[in-house]
């Protein structure tokens, strides 16, 4: 019996290194032709399966596959598309299995975050129920480092290096001219619920007094009084103060400091702007001139630092 | 007669490479002991001269000076401190010359932008009037590349590389998932009056259709209708649209799109936020989901890409 084929799909924001994962997966599959036939990739992620738009990676040379390791973006396209419960989206799950059947696919590798892991699990369940068992493997990817059962997730290391490097460089810049100019620098980084990226900013500080001076985590309710006291201490002691803040910073009641009101395809709130809010708070209460930066997609796509 | 000493001061935002200039200047001075004695650096720029707080660089080894070439920030400190007209600030100019006299300084190297070039000129004038002639040399430094008589100014190349790399990486990220998610990415870059940094973003595009798709310059009055038409064309043609916008973008009447109302020590308006304004305009008029990034100090301090 010929080996079954595999289907690989990328999901969500692609990180600086998701193509390195694709590279490793395809190379390893090529080493085991007795177990895995062709590897198909979904164009624009799982949507590629639902629309039967598959990219046959076996048509690519070993050299082209090797180059994936250093290719930015998502080579096959990704998507934000959540398959909900089996009850709500049964037709789509069934469609998925039909496409898998039509292409003799026995392995499903889903490269994404928690939602994708959940989808991979559901696909394995329905595949079994439909009498066409598929080996479903969730392949971790996230900048947030918030996947259960993983210690350090591909994507996090790259963003960690980016934010730590960035706040160190900007910190030295501010330190150089704080005496007569900007005394406060705030860097807003990703992280709705997990403070790993903000914590990574702390790697820039090798001794007391070095930037960053304050880290604001989504897990720790924002206490404006305590924050302002510490900012003022830093300015008085070091001449300036640098702050890294998670986009998901919330107050004691759990309300986001920067709720922009719009939502993404998964129903998550679209954040952005908390950096300016805490910087302006400093300006209003303490009078210090500030600058702030919003790293946004730059942080997760920074291939040059990955 | 012994060679006169030199005084070197950094001014304004320090760029990623201002210490490389300091390195070159000190190394070259050391090669000509018959012309230049010691090189003193001002602590925190010109303020170091006014407060007689001089750093004697002759105490540093050749190795330490060589390392300046790769040192981020401003090694001796910089400042935003403008000496105004001779009439208004005569006492300070005279104080400067007195300190120069006291330390036998015959050369003044002022490393900064247009304001510093102007100060160097004024110092040369008053020094002559006071009967203590000083050779005054303006040493160019700016990220904006807006210094008259220079073609490409140290500081600009570094920020150009940073912004072009960043918008390319973020552009590939957006392209990967534009089908179901973010279709618009806006990067706000520095440039109050000069669009060189925004223009540098364009270096990321090697063929038609590659990011960035639209550049908004401070020299070209913002035309919302024309802008929105082009954004929509890009989304329909390429699936997404990336925009680089100068902080100094203005309307036809010359009014800044993002006037924050605060001013810096030189009376310049403090800008920031035009990126979000044009992104929100797209969302409101065309309905496309956006992300935006504010590079701020990250762009001018990015030593790792310099």
For residue A168, the enclosing domain spans 156-305
Q: What is the CATH number of the domain that holds B199?
A: 3.40.50.460
pLDDT of residue A265: 52
Query: Residue B145 above 80 pLDDT?
Result: yes
A177–B270 CB contact, under 8 Å: no
Asked whether residue A149 is domain-assigned, the answer is: no
Contacts of A73 in chain B (CB under 8 A): 169, 172-173, 175-176
Q: Which of 15-34 (A) contact B at CB < 8 A?
A: 16
pLDDT of residue B272: 54
pLDDT of residue A87: 85
pLDDT band at B189; cut points 50, 70, 90: very high
Asked if A92 and A195 sit in the same domain, the reply is no
pLDDT of residue B63: 98
Tell me how far apart the terminal alpha carbons of chain B are, to the nearest angstrom. 42
Contacts of A305 in chain B (CB under 8 A): 304
A14–B177 CB contact, under 8 Å: yes
Query: Residue B1 above 80 pLDDT?
Result: no
Interface check for A239 against chain B (CB to CB < 8 A): the answer is no
Q: Identify whether the C-beta of residue A197 lies closer than 8 Å to the C-beta of residue A160.
A: yes
In chain A, which ranges are continuous DSSP H helix? 18-30, 46-50, 62-67, 90-102, 114-129, 156-177, 196-201, 224-238, 274-286, 296-301
List the catalytic residues of B. 144
Asked if A200 and A257 sit in the same domain, the reply is yes
B73–A172 CB contact, under 8 Å: yes
B190: left (phi over 0), alpha (psi -120 to 50) or beta: beta
Q: Give pLDDT tens digits for A268-293.
A: 554 558 999 999 999 999 999 999 99
Q: Identify whether the C-beta of residue A70 lies closer than 8 Å to the C-beta of residue A98.
A: no
Query: Residue B267 above 70 pLDDT?
Result: no
Three-class secondary structure of residue A56 per DSSP:
strand
Residues of chain A with pLDDT under 50: 260-264, 270
Q: What is the CATH number of the domain that holds A119?
A: 3.40.50.450
Asked if B175 and B288 sit in the same domain, the reply is yes
Structure tokens at A279: 């910087």
Asked if B72 and B176 sit in the same domain, the reply is no
Contacts of A276 in chain B (CB under 8 A): 272-273
Choosing from B140, B173, B201, the residue where a domain stops is B140
| Weakest mean pLDDT among A158-167, A180-189, B97-106, B268-277 | B268-277
Long-range contacts of B50-55 (CB under 8 A, 24+ apart): B50/B92, B50/B95, B50/B96, B50/B99, B52/B99, B52/B102, B54/B7, B54/B99, B54/B103
Structure tokens at A247: 């986009």
ipTM of the complex: 0.93
- A:B CB pairs within 8 Å: 167
Query: Residue B227 above 70 pLDDT?
Result: yes
pLDDT band at B261; cut points 50, 70, 90: very low
Asked if A135 and A241 sit in the same domain, the reply is no
Q: Provide the mean pLDDT of chain B.
A: 93
A296–B301 CB contact, under 8 Å: no
Asked if A90 and A185 sit in the same domain, the reply is no
Q: How many CB atoms lie within 10 A of CB B51?
A: 13
Choosing from B109, B140, B171, the residue where a domain stops is B140
Q: Can you give the C-alpha Rg of chain A in angstroms?
A: 23
Q: Which of A123, A118, A98, A95 is nearest to A108 (CA)?
A: A123
Q: Can you give the C-alpha Rg of chain B in angstroms?
A: 23
Burial label, B254 (beta-carbon count in 10 A; 0-12, 13-18, 19+) = exposed
Query: Residue B154 above 90 pLDDT?
Result: yes
Q: How far apart are CA A243 and CA A233, in angstroms?
A: 13
Asked if A78 and A165 sit in the same domain, the reply is no
Asked whether residue A148 is domain-assigned, the answer is: no
List the catalytic residues of A. 144
Average pLDDT value for residue range B82-87:
84
Asked if B208 and B121 sit in the same domain, the reply is no
Asked whether residue B95 is domain-assigned, the answer is: yes
pLDDT of residue B262: 47
A166–B300 CB contact, under 8 Å: no
Interface check for A51 against chain B (CB to CB < 8 A): the answer is no
B111 forms beta bridges with: B10, B139
Contacts of B291 in chain A (CB under 8 A): 272, 296-297
Of residues A263 and B193, more confidence is placed in B193
Q: List the single residue in B175, B289, B292 with the smallest CB-CB distance to A296.
A: B292
Number of structural domains in chain A: 2
Asked whether residue A150 is domain-assigned, the answer is: no
| Closest-CA residue of chain B to A181 | B80
Contacts of B169 in chain A (CB under 8 A): 16, 72-73, 298, 301-304
A304–B165 CB contact, under 8 Å: yes
Asked if A35 and A97 sit in the same domain, the reply is yes
Asked if A8 and A134 sit in the same domain, the reply is yes
Interface check for B297 against chain A (CB to CB < 8 A): the answer is yes
Asked whether residue A95 is domain-assigned, the answer is: yes
* Residue B79, φ and ψ in degrees, nearest 5: -160, 160
Asked if A274 and A174 sit in the same domain, the reply is yes
Choosing from A79, A107, A140, the residue where a domain stops is A140
Q: How far apart are CA B27 and CA B39, in angstroms?
A: 10
Asked whether residue A160 is domain-assigned, the answer is: yes
Q: How far apart are CA B269 and CA B247, in angstroms?
A: 11
Asked whether residue B147 is domain-assigned, the answer is: no
Structure tokens at A230: 């510490």
Asked whether residue B111 is domain-assigned, the answer is: yes
Asked if B117 and B187 sit in the same domain, the reply is no
A289–B262 CB contact, under 8 Å: yes
pLDDT of residue A261: 41
């Amino acid at each position: 019996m010929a080996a079954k084929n595999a289907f690989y799909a990328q999901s969500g924001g692609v990180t600086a290194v998701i193509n390195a994962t694709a590279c490793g997966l395809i190379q390893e599959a090529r080493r085991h032709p007795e177990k895995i036939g062709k590897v198909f990739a979904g164009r624009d992620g799982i949507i590629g399966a639902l629309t039967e738009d598959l990219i046959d990676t076996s048509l690519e040379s070993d050299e082209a596959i090797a180059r994936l390791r250093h290719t930015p973006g998502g080579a096959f396209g990704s998507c934000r598309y959540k398959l909900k419960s089996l009850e709500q989206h049964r037709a789509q799950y069934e469609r998925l299995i039909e496409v898998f059947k039509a292409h003799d696919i026995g392995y499903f590798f889903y490269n994404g975050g928690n939602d994708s892991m959940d989808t991979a699990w559901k696909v394995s369940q329905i595949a079994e129920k439909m009498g066409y068992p598929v080996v479903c493997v969730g392949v971790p990817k996230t900048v947030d480092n918030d996947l259960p059962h993983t210690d350090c997730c591909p994507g996090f290391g790259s963003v960690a290096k980016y934010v730590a490097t960035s706040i160190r460089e900007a910190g030295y810049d501010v330190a150089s001219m704080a005496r007569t100019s900007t005394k406060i620098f705030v860097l807003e980084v990703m992280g709705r619920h997990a403070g790993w990226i903000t914590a990574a900013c702390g790697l820039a500080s090798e001794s007391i007094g070095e930037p960053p001076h304050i880290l604001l985590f989504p897990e720790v309710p924002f206490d404006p009084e305590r924050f302002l006291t510490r900012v003022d201490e830093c300015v008085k002691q070091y001449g300036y103060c640098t702050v890294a803040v998670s986009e998901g910073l919330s107050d004691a009641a759990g309300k986001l400091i920067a709720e922009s009101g719009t939502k993404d395809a998964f129903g998550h709130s679209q954040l952005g702007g908390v950096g300016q809010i805490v910087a302006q708070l400093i300006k209003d209460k303490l009078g210090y001139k500030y600058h702030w930066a919003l790293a946004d997609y730059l942080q997760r796509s920074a291939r040059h630092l990955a």
